Structure 1
């Protein structure tokens, strides 16, 4: 009996030991995804905000990105652990403009004792309104906020410009010009949360904006001489880029990459491709390229990637890609398509 008790005790000790090892291994692996003492803890809603926050926050910040690698952000929803981490953080950065439809309920779940400051980093950008309805309600939350901010005064026709029938394009970060405004909002929030390290945040912000300015100048100089100005994309994610660099996008799908187009829309786009001499249909890596390839086949043209930089694939992460390398590739592909 004593021997049996000893074996059972050893087994229990072994199981407990293995559990502790797994727990420690999990803690080591997930440190970047948990709250860190002595740092400004920042939770970001998706990849480009994460990259900019890390660049500005530097060693003073612990930045946690909610969206996993390889996941498209439009219809992602957070888990309970995400809510827990955010409730303990100092800052929560999200894009806004209707991109993250889950944010209102997410914020309600943080609890009354949470002191996290919520920052909509697209504030200050001149937003683009579109009549494209993707069926997912993207842009509607921002639309309501916009209307609340401006009010609805009786007889004031200036604000009555069919906003009820429009949606906000949330893809602000795809233009370096808009990305600069987002970066400034983040920098100001870091300084407010941690004024003791203001000089460090200012210096890193300056370094980031110099890179964004250089990228902006390159897009301007290299696209202004292109003979063509029309592009056909799978997902209507390039409105800000097109507005800032004199291009026009024609999208197979709406603001959401999984919105299904109507048959007549595809016929119309196929006709446009042939009439305008367009040689490439752009698609993106994080969603299916089925419709882009269907349209390209119908129109007798090729497909090519134009990346909305909503997130990295696992291959891109492994290769060390980032916002700037992906935007450089976008520029080269645009030049090839527009020549």
Structure 2
């Protein structure tokens, strides 16, 4: 008994001596975790990358932004964890686009209906491709039109100003800065795509409707809005003829979707493939952001379309 008592007593003494160190380490870990997840202030949950990026630009150091979709993941495939569903409910704002991610739609409907913002409700939307049967009547890829995205930025700034009145001026100022940058980007696209030999962009899925409409192009999607859909042999044959008829030089693949279908079409038509990024996400460790992705897309489109 004596031996056991001394052992326990020794552990107790050591524990008391270590207790301040352990508490300090715990507090440091908590602080580091808070910094890693954001800056504090109101919590915003954003459905996927372009919305998380925009929310971060407008929120700045005055709010915390959580992206529900992990880097490198295809946003259409998102399944929320129970913790993420709680995060949606506990947030001050759930920022999403209805119809892109059914799990997010459900979480917002059940837990965040009164504190959510659907970006698609803020702009004029485009109809889905005529052959689309999966995602409904609207094309959700509105962020690929910088002018529409600027409208969303302004509205987001106003919403955050209403949520956190103490920092209202800062939210509005940052939103205005983003709008200025998006307007400049829109000008770059208008100038860069103004005089092109070809207008058709053949894409692996129909993500570029807004970009095409804004800059006078015609999108030809191998599949509809669902990036995982498989085109029928008849569809591939029809697209092969279209590529040859229009003189298209390129079939565009994407970053987060398998390129196999687009590569098959390109091989059939005797043209090359290149990546055209719909900015739906960035890969882990990437230094890209919305602007670098969009400018790289412009640099890819210009030679493919024979722009002067």
| Matches for 1:231-246 after TM superposition, within 5 Å | 231-246=201-216
Q: Deviations over 1:228-277 (max 9, x none)?
A: 10110001000000000000011111101001111110011111111111
Quick one: distance in 2 between partners of 1:248 and 1:239? 8
Quick one: distance in 2 between partners of 1:77 and 1:133? 26
Quick one: distance in 2 between partners of 1:243 and 1:118? 28
Displacement over 6 Å in runs of 4+: 19-26
Quick one: distance in 1 between partners of 2:36 and 2:116? 19
Of residues 127, 130, 138, the one that matches 2:128 is: 130
Q: CA deviation at 1:295?
A: 0.9
Bigger CA drift: 171-180 or 323-332? 171-180
Contact (CA 8 Å) 2:154, 2:172: kept in 1 or not?
A: no
Quick one: distance in 2 between partners of 1:70 and 1:60? 27
Question: What value does the CA root-mean-square deviation take over the aligned residues?
Answer: 2.9
Pairing 1:31–2:20 present: no
Q: Deviations over 1:15-55 (max 9, x none)?
A: xx9x9999778746643575875x12111111111111111
Q: CA deviation at 1:297?
A: 1.1
Quick one: distance in 2 between partners of 1:240 and 1:131? 12
TM-score, normalization by structure 2: 0.88
| Matches for 1:108-257 after TM superposition, within 5 Å | 108-110=109-111, 117-134=115-132, 137-138=134-135, 140=136, 167-257=137-227
Q: Deviations over 1:31-81 (max 9, x none)?
A: 3575875x1211111111111111111111111111100011112121111
Pairing 1:262–2:232 present: yes
Bigger CA drift: 264-273 or 79-88? 79-88
Of residues 92, 95, 108, the one that matches 2:94 is: 92
Contact (CA 8 Å) 2:206, 2:219: kept in 1 or not?
A: yes
| SS of residue matched to 1:257 | coil
Contact (CA 8 Å) 1:134, 1:259: kept in 2 or not?
A: no
The corresponding residue for 1:62 is 64
Quick one: distance in 2 between partners of 1:249 and 1:241? 9
Q: Deviations over 1:114-161 (max 9, x none)?
A: 7961111222311111344555x31x3xxxxxxxxxxxxxxxxxxxxx
Contact (CA 8 Å) 1:48, 1:173: kept in 2 or not?
A: yes
Contact (CA 8 Å) 1:67, 1:73: kept in 2 or not?
A: yes
Q: Which runs of 5+ in 2 are unaligned?
A: none
